[in-house]
Structure 1
Amino acid sequence: MAISVDTFFLNPDAQGTLQAQIQQMIAEGILSGRFHRGEKLPSSRKLAGHLGVSRITVTLAYTELLANDYLTSRGRSGYYVSENAPVPPTYTPPDRPLDRVDWARAISHRFTGGDTPQKPRNWSSFRYPFIYGQADPTLFDHANWRLCALRALGQKDFSSLTADYYDQDDPLLVEFIARHTLPRRGIAARPEEILITMGAQNALWLAAQVLLDDTRTAAVEDPCYHALRDVLVQSGCRLAPIRVDADGLPPESLPPDTDVVFSTPSHQSPTTATMPLARRRALLARASDLDALIVEDDYEFELSFLAAPSPALKSLDRDGRVIYVGSFSKSLCPGLRLGYMVGSEPFIRQARALRASVLRHPPGHIQRAAAYFLSLGHYDAQIRRMSRSLHERRKIIETAISEHGLTIAGSGVYGGSSLWMRAPDGTDSTALAMDLARDGVLIEPGTPFFSGPDRPTQFYRLGYSSIPAARIAPGIARIAQRL
């Protein structure tokens, strides 16, 4: 890799000769880790022209660095950072001016302070990663995704790569969602009622921003997806946590001043509870009595390897009060950051305008590549492959849990990719997770999913989408041993 000449500049306040300044500038770039071993420096002619100095000055600086083994010369090819140069493993920026801003006073809105857990970036290096929501590279169709991505980057699709859609989306992707994805959930929608989002998280944020303010009340499941709770807190609304039971959110517990209900009826997060049809109808009736809206997060419905998924709440809606959120993050890969939102046209119009003011639209070439992957049948083939693998892992993990006497608190009616576990009373699952991590086992503590000051500590979540089948039983044995 060549080092760009634009990264070099002379400090007008520096002391010493120009040659010494150039020599020091290059040495500092190497010592800080900004320049890596084997990278090519600009030619002496190019660097001299860029800095406005004579070529002989740059040549003398290069020669001195060559003598000190910071640089090496490769015939007529030029100068490179030496393989023997003292380059640190990571880049450390040089000393910068002190930050004298009083940020406690300058910041008017705060978006941190929640306890959303941070998943370790090196999770794949753990031997027993019972981690939720990460892609298994052995199940992803790399070859066909690469072909679809190359096709989306071709001349025929030049506009999808380069055009500013402003507030619109790729028509091929919207059409596929309308004609193929939504009908599987019993939902009929026109393109004007569909909005592509940067994953489900972005869709939930848009819904909260459009529907809520400090005068309105949002009912949310307890426990719930902790990032959703952060979004609702940031909106400034009044928050009403509703403790879920084995069938999900109990409609009769909704307070009378509820304006918006956020629910995951098909696969409650994190307990995996599936709301029965009768309760879905009751929830719609209760929302109608309260004149409240419902935001339905319908994630993981594709991973239904145990039984057919229940009808989406949106498919039972006759009043237009349900806003449906879907995502390709769990079924394709989380890094894709593609989701979608379906609702009445007046709502989608406002959400579309808000999205346009924040990020315009998700990248056009990503939308087009996903549209090809979906429409050519690769997506359905991947879902079938994932379902078979998850079904196998599910049987292994349930057998191992039974053999070691662990307790499943929620397992999902039709499938999914995780189990909600309960440790003996008095167990601190956060401390348990830290202890297990030292033994190469990753689990997810359950406490951050709950609201309020007296949150249960004995729950934890086991994901089985990213751990090889052969490692599940030994990993469960280690968890049982710690407990």
Structure 2
Amino acid sequence: MDFHVTLDGRGDRSTRIYRQLLEAILDGRLRPGERVPPTRELGERLGVARNTVAVAYDRLTAEGFLVGRVGAGTYVYSDGDRPRSRQAPAGADVRPRATWAAAAEPERDTASGLPYDFSAGVPDVGLFPFGTWRRLLRPEAARADYGDPSGLPELREAIARHVGVSRSVRADTDDVLVTQGAQQALDLVCRVLVEPGECVAVEDPGYPLARALFRSHGARVVGVPVDGEGLVVDALPPSARLVYTTPSHQFPLGTPMSLRRRTALLDWARRHGAVVVEDDYDSEFRYSDRPLEPLQSLDRAGRVVYVGSFSKTLLPTLRLGFLVAPASLRPALRAAKQLTDWHGDPIAQAALARFIDEGLLARHIRRATRVYAARHARITAALRDDFARWLEVVPSAAGIHLAARTRCDPDEVVGVARSRGVAIRALSSFSPEVHFGLVIGFGAIPVDRIDDGLRLLAGSFPQS
């Protein structure tokens, strides 16, 4: 093996070789049973006499760390305790800023190991056309130089055309900035718009990672209630610099924002000099009703930043999203994108551009919508018929999850359900103010498991 040894520093050379080999054995870089270089070979590599290396080897052999095998070489001793893993220094005196010191470690969703997974926001990986995607991935799309922070022009053009046709978004190629998912889009918008201490209004209940992201930039985050028409505009704080909303399919309740409320929100933003971030995260999947016009297409004052993602329509692991911003924000957003990660994966971006241009995205969405519609219908019917004494379904006609308000403590139900192999979330995990409710996803669970999963879920409610 090629083992690195440095002879810089004090002490004789044999001692320095000894100490570095010992450290490598103790921290696991040299594993039990692994062969070390012959003394002559290591000596030549280091520019020292063979005997200098032999002295270090002899000392390690005497201490039991190395063992010589006649005719085979010298090996790390393989008996005894397993070496400790190699770790970076603890850095006891190094501390993050106060905002990050108080931040919780990112949650790891453990639901995927359960047989009945009703997690929200998780698409069906089995629907993704892996064969087609592999055909579209072409290494020649890689570049030897740094790319445009806005993304590949052909992808931006394809996205502008796609959202223009499917969602009536008003955009051309220059209006689109490709991001690594919606989360990066929100980060960029906050970077260029919000000063520390300024107010950002978010829906309550709402998307927890958006709330956490705005706070990480030093914003004062204020929750605004949601009713049957969407975000309650009259409850918006007058000082809000930014308003984050999910009007097409409110997350997590699922209700769409009414046209009256959309008009009121745009008028409020104009009067208060605020920017509205419209997160259209999964409205491609619709099961009834004609979708309302996005805020972006209704906006005439240039107050809306439209954020989209392919995490639900395709796969979260692709990390592909985008934003459409007013022209006045584009230079700053491009600069922020360049400072954070410069550009994304050109091979994946080129593949997605071809995927859209060849009509494959539209075909995939139609197919996935049929699958999700069947799951949505089955779950909605079961909840209304078999769960009526415990909960009330919140009307929803899009996306890959739905919500229900409960008449009992949902946290206890979630705990019992998990013990029975059913993954589900309480509405309280999306808001400290909303206590009674469940959020039920249907992207990750096959249709043939829904009935058994719901039966186990029903058994998790109080039976008396």
Classify the TM-score, shorter chain: 0.7 to 0.9
SS state of the match for residue 387, structure 1?
A: helix
Shift in Å, 1:137: 2.6
* Ranges in structure 2 where 5+ consecutive residues have no aligned partner: none
The one of 437, 444, 455 aligned to 2:418: 437
Equivalent residue for 1:108? 97
Structure 1 residues 310 and 98 mapped into 2: Cα distance closer, same or farther (>3 Å)? Answer: closer
Distance, in Å, in 2 between the alignment partners of 1:123 and 1:54 is 59
- Paired residue type of 2:449: R
1:181-220 matched pairs, under 5 angstroms: 181-214=163-196, 216-220=198-202
Q: Which of the residues 367, 370, 374 maps onto 2:356?
A: 374
Q: Aligned ranges for residues 252-401 of structure 1 at < 5 Å?
A: 252-401=234-383
Question: Structure 2: how far apart are the matches of 1:39 and 1:173?
Answer: 49
The one-character-per-residue Cα deviations of 1:66-120 (angstroms, maximum 9, x if unpaired) are xx999999x99x99999x98897xx9524765534152xxx33423645687233
Mark the CA change 1:23 to 1:237 in structure 2 (over 3 Å): closer, same or farther. Answer: closer
Please tell me the root mean square deviation across aligned C-alpha atoms, in Å: 3.8
Decide whether the 8 Å contact of 1:298 with 1:325 is kept in 2: yes
Query: 1:258 Cα deviation (Å)?
Result: 3.3
Residue aligning to 2:391: 407
Output the CA distance in 2 between the equivalents of 1:446 and 1:55. 69
Which residue, 114, 118, 123 being the options, matches 2:107?
Answer: 118
Q: Displacement of 1:197 after TM fit?
A: 1.3
Q: Cα distance, 1:420 vs. partner?
A: 1.3
Q: TM-score, normalised by structure 1?
A: 0.80
Counterparts of 1:364 and 1:467 in 2: how far apart (Å)?
A: 32
Query: Would you say the 8 A contact 1:196–1:339 is kept in 2?
Result: yes
Of 20-29 and 174-183, deviating more is: 20-29
Is the Cα–Cα contact under 8 Å of residues 116 and 453 in structure 2 kept in the other structure?
Answer: yes
Q: Which amino acid aligns with 2:402?
A: L
Residue of structure 2 in register with 1:464 after alignment: 442
**Counterparts of 2:318 and 2:460 in 1: how far apart (Å)?**
36
3-state SS of paired residue (1:174): helix
SS in 2 for 1:110: helix
| SS across alignment from 2:121 | coil
The alpha carbon displacement at 1:139 in A equals 1.0
SS at match of 2:93: coil
Percent of aligned pairs with the same residue?
30
- Would you say the 8 A contact 1:271–1:409 is kept in 2? no
The structural deviation recorded for 1:395 is 2.3
Residue 477 (structure 1) aligned to one of 447, 455, 458: 455
Cα distance per residue 1:261-299 (max 9 Å; x no partner): 211110111111111223222222232233332111111
Letter in 2 for 1:138: G
Query: Are the counterparts in 1 of residues 122 and 441 from structure 2 also a CA contact under 8 Å?
Result: no
State the distance in 2 between where 1:168 and 1:142 align.
Answer: 26
TM alignment of 1:37-186, pairs within 5 A = 49-51=44-46, 93-94=85-86, 99-101=91-93, 103=95, 107-111=96-100, 113=102, 118-120=107-109, 123-149=111-137, 151=138, 153-154=139-140, 157-159=141-143, 162-165=144-147, 167-186=149-168
Residue-by-residue CA offset, 1:361-415 (whole Å, 9 max, x unaligned): 22222222222222223322221222122112212222332324352442422x2
Q: 1:464 Cα shift?
A: 1.0
Pick which of 334-343 and 396-405 moved more: 396-405
Q: Is the Cα–Cα contact under 8 Å of residues 25 and 31 in structure 2 kept in the other structure?
A: no
SS in 1 for 2:248: coil
The letter for the 2-side match of 1:323 is: V
Displacement, 1:250?
Answer: 2.2
Q: Aligned residue pairs: how many?
A: 453
Return the alpha-carbon distance in structure 1 between the equivalents of residues 368 and 36 of structure 2.
47
- The change in CA–CA distance for 1:54 and 1:377 in structure 2 (over 3 A counts) is farther
CA distance 1:424–1:215, change in 2 (3 Å): same
CA distance in 2, matches of 1:124, 1:464: 13
- 2:401 is aligned with 1:418: yes
Q: What is the letter of the counterpart of residue 291 of structure 1?
A: G
| Alpha-carbon offset, residue 48 of structure 1 | 5.3
Measured in 2, the distance between the counterparts of 1:111 and 1:174 equals 34
Matched residues in 2 for 1:95 and 1:215: separation?
Answer: 37
